[in-house]
Amino acid sequence: MSKRAERTSEVYKDVRDFYDGYGWKSAEKNDCYQAEVLHEHLNETARAYMKSNEMRYSKYYGDGGRLFLDAGCGAEPRREMSSAFAKCVCADVSLVGLKESRKKLKDSGLYVVADLAALPFKKKSFDGILVSHCVYHIDKDLQPLVIRELYKLAKPEKTILIFYASNRNLVSVFQAVGIKTYKLVMLLLRLVRRKRVEDEKTPPPLYYYIHNPFKLTRAFDEVDITCLRILTRWETTALAKLKLLKLVVPLLSFLERKFPHLMLYIGKYVTIRIRAQ
């Protein structure tokens, strides 16, 4: 096995094990999953902000159709996005996640354990495709291939939405500075106390790699990349502690709707919209 194939296999296993063994398990003190606690601030305002920003894009699925593919849905199928379709096909590497999805969608869904790089579906099978916050957990060399394969599964004139991320924005710059500052402070504390300062209990590792979304999708003719949302867990947590979240969210939501392309240079999360030919 080549080094590249070995790395790809390791990434696949690590992601599957993360979600089966940790991410899609219930959090002890919250009515949610451990992956949600890890990745997002979960108060009511933050949840509504995230949901409304995703639902802005549901209009691109038109009047629905027969089959909707929720690729990499895990335990969080987007029920509202697929509601206009006869069936929602949930495909994911995590069996635990698919079992949770089945509890939510029941008979309105079909459930397939599958690698997104090798989906077992016929070409041009789907009237709508959603890939939500999972492509950046796929091996970096496979991400372009995965998107090309998903493109082949969409019927002509139908939409593929990919919720992705970018490092080319103000939020990412501020976060990079914050992480380096935190590491420096922890190092100084260890030196001063002459012993290891224990961090909070850390979850298992989860692979994560972000391409430039414009380069990632340059092979497609009809592509539109816009800001999904500006705030990440870091910012929502800080604003909530300062009692400012309810004041800031309406303003940011307005800017994201009004200037979706401009806000790309501020917010971290993006939506890649591809129209199949």
pTM: 0.91
pLDDT at 184 over 80: no
| Residue 186, in any domain of the structure | no
Position 181 scores a pLDDT of 76
Q: Count how many domains the chain has.
A: 1
| Residue 64, in any domain of the structure | yes
| Residue 175, in any domain of the structure | no
The conformation of residue 126, written as its DSSP 8-state character, comes to: B
| Residue 193, in any domain of the structure | no
| Residue 174, in any domain of the structure | no
Position 19 scores a pLDDT of 97
| Residue 18, in any domain of the structure | yes
| Residue 194, in any domain of the structure | no
| Structural domain that includes position 258 | 3-169+204-275
| Residue 241, in any domain of the structure | yes
Position 30 scores a pLDDT of 65
For residue 125, what is the domain's CATH number? 3.40.50.150
pLDDT at 194 over 60: no
Position 262 scores a pLDDT of 96
- Band (pLDDT 50/70/90 cuts) for residue 197 is very low
- Residue 79 structure tokens: 């029920």
Write out pLDDT tens, residues 58-95: 999 998 999 999 999 999 999 999 999 999 999 999 99
pLDDT at 180 over 70: yes
Q: Which residue has the tokens 């970096």?
A: 140
- Band (pLDDT 50/70/90 cuts) for residue 195 is low
Write out pLDDT tens, residues 99-111: 999 999 999 999 9
Position 5 scores a pLDDT of 81
Mean pLDDT of 22-38: 87
Q: What torsion do the CA atoms of 75, 77, 78, 84 make, to the nearest 10 degrees?
A: -160
